[in-house]
Amino acid sequence: MRLSTTSDVWWKNAVVYCLDVETYADGNGDGIGDFRGLAQHVDHLDRLGVTCIWLMPFFPTPDRDDGYDISDFYSVDPRLGTLGDFVEFMRVANDRGIRVIADLVVNHTSDEHPWFKDARSSRDSRYRDWYIWSDKPEPDDPKGVVFPDAEDSLWQLDESTGQYYFHRFYRFQPDLNTANPEVRDEIARVLGFWMELGLSGFRVDAVPFLVEEVKSEEQKPDGKLPDVHSFLRETRAFMKRRNGGAMLLGEVNLEYPDLLKYFGDDLGDEVTMCFDFIGMQRMYLSLARGDATPLADALRERPAPPKDCHWATFVRNHDELTLDKLSEKERQEVFKAFGPKKDMQLFGRGLRRRLPPMMDGDMRRIKMVYSLLFSLPGTPVLFYGEEIGMGEDLTAEGRQAVRTPMQWTPNRNAGFSSADTLPIKLVEGPFGPEKVNVSAQRRDPDSLLMWITTLVERYRECPELAWGDYEILKTDTPEVLAHRADIDGETVVVLHNFSDQELTCKVPIKGLAPDEILTDLLIEGTVKVPKNGQTTFDLAPYDSRWLRASPPDEAPAASAAIEDSESPDTGR
């Protein structure tokens, strides 16, 4: 496959890295991460192979919801730097060939935003219709309350005007009325502003809630509301006019048939990429059971996105590890395996843990999971600290458990800051910076950091994984997930053992040329596929195998001798 044909749709084989400026690196010694500190660590991301940085909210904020309560969409929070610092960071990232996207949080504002302050000052305010008001609270669906630990309603009384305003999230985050054309125009200005400063796109927060189906007779006498899809189409069209290569990464946690609509169905004119929440949740169920079947079933069910759109795959994100699409029985299985204590769980639907502690530090299992991330069909998204195996701080509140400072060195403040004290506590114990940090792992060829660096390299070398048609292969061993990706006559076959046992499995690999062999891309060795296609592999516990099919004279270098798979292939 010619890589020159893929540059316009760069997101399909990108490596996305999500970080919070506040917790990444402190450049001025005040204990808070900032853009100056981040700019000094861009080379770490470059060495890792990151091609796109996703910035969590960095805008001015009262900071009651970790920056998601925004009070100004056109500036940088003073704690994190200035617009000048932002531009300098962008220059450094662009110099390394790394694109940057940012959170687009336009379903609500802070109640301290000037728009809302003006809106609540009078029913005749110019900004009144920028928010959603009602004389009485509409009936609530308890399932619609996003944070049941803090809120019991979606409506809050504003005593100054005697009406209730709608808030899907916290009461200090009033929802914007995105059905209002003026609000839509302002959102377009926000996007255009940051795109002029170099952003290549946005991660769209809580996409299904962007246009709330809340009828307010005062605001919409005809009771008609534009839907979220028209809003997304308008937004995508605006971005393409400004920058043809801009993308939207959508947080759409819905069942596959409903989710597909947010791509724009067959047209693909809405969200460019959607996170695969269902595949992620089924992966954890497979890990809990030591059985690849739940994940394999999800991948078979997952519909193909429209042309030039893609799925985003992930192991962990910055929120709770939601398990809401599993049945109650399945969710309890995962809780029992990876978060049996109540303080490890959140909202009754998810876990507030990182992967390494959930895996009890078993590096074989951890490495297998990240091999999955980079080989499954989709664009891999990493959350900062995953590359070194950071843990969580369960003494922190809620989602903050996984948003601790980045661990650069084993020294004072983990190399994050030179301040005397830190406002955000470092992780302690076996996953603290004394044992888990960038500087040590950079020098250790067997470290998780070097393993993920290798996976990134192999992923970028295998356009089949990102661009190809994939097929989940049937095996005689339910513990093993086997899939293949094909494009333009090129094939990559991948196997993962979800169990803690050595296994021998047979995998049907058909349709290859008679003389083609499989060359392992992660270890030394080659495998010859027999005429009937039934290829036998011996897999170690939690083993990972990536194999490329090619004629012998075109195969990647391998020092091991060619094995005939009619005899078992040890593979290790």
Q: How confident is the model at residue 158 (pLDDT cuts 50, 70, 90)?
A: very high
Does the structure show a pLDDT above 90 at 103? yes
- Which pLDDT score, from 0 to 100, does residue 304 have? 94
Beta-bridge mates of residue 492: 485, 548
Task: Enumerate helices (H) and strands (E) in the chain, giving the number of each.
Answer: 16, 23
| DSSP state at residue 343 | G
DSSP 42-76: HHHHHHHT--EEEEPP-S----SSTT-S-S-TTS-
Catalytic residue among 22, 129, 175, 205: 205
Q: Decide if 182 contacts 175 (C-beta within 8 A).
A: no
The more confident residue out of 570 and 84 is 84
With H, G, I as helix, E, B as strand and everything else as coil, classify residue 178. Answer: coil
pLDDT of 325 strictly over 50: yes
Closest to 245 measured CA to CA, from 567, 487, 6, 466? 6
Share of the chain above pLDDT 70, in %: 93
- Residues 469, 373: Cα–Cα separation, whole Å: 17
Mean pLDDT for 263-287 is 96
Which region among 250-254, 272-276, 391-395, 558-562 has the lowest average model confidence (pLDDT)? 558-562
205 is annotated as an active-site residue: yes
* Per-residue pLDDT tens digits for 19-28: 999 999 999 9
| Chain mean position to CA 284 | 15
pLDDT mean over 102-119: 97
**Average confidence score pLDDT of the chain:** 92
pLDDT at 537 over 90: yes
251 is an active site residue: yes
Helix (H/G/I), strand (E/B), else coil: 165: strand
Q: In 327-356, which positions are buried (b, 16+ CB within 10 angstroms) versus exposed (e)?
A: eeebbebbbebbbeeeebbbbeebbbbbbb
Neighbours of 288 (CB within 10 A): 19
Q: Pairing between strand 503-508 and 490-497?
A: unpaired
In terms of C-beta density within 10 A (0-12 exposed, 13-18 middle, 19 or more buried), how is residue 221 classed?
A: exposed
Residue 570 has pLDDT above 70, yes or no: no
pLDDT at residue 293 tops 80: yes
Q: Are 239 and 191 in contact (CB under 8 A)?
A: yes
Q: Indicate the pairing of strand 16-19 with strand 52-55.
A: parallel
DSSP 425-444: PPP-GGGSTTTS-HHHHHT-
What is the spatial distance between Cα 520 and Cα 548, in angstroms, rounded to a whole number? 7
Q: What is the pLDDT of residues 464-473, one digit of tens each?
A: 999 999 999 9
Whether residue 334 has pLDDT greater than 90: yes
pLDDT in tens, 473-522: 999 999 999 999 999 999 999 999 999 999 999 999 999 988 889 999 99
Answer yes or no: is pLDDT of 217 > 70. Answer: no
Question: Which among 184, 181, 187, 189 is positioned nearest to 219, based on CA atoms?
Answer: 181
Token pair for 229: 């899809």
The model's pLDDT over 350-388, given as tens digits with 9 standing for 90+, comes to 999 999 999 999 999 999 999 999 999 999 999 999 999
DSSP 351: E
Percent of the residues in the chain that have a pLDDT greater than 90, as a whole number: 84
Least confident of 31-40, 214-223, 278-287, 385-394: 214-223
Look at strands 503-508 and 534-539 and give their pairing.
antiparallel
Q: How confident is the model at residue 535 (pLDDT cuts 50, 70, 90)?
A: very high
Q: What is the mean pLDDT of residues 287-316?
A: 97
Backbone angles phi, psi at 438, to 5 degrees: -65, -45
Residue-wise DSSP of 250-312: E---S-HHHHGGGGTTTT--S-SEEE-HHHHHHHHHHHHHT-SHHHHHHHHHSPPPPTT-EEE
Confidence of residue 214 (pLDDT cuts 50, 70, 90): low
The catalytically annotated residue of 251, 276, 291, 330 is: 251
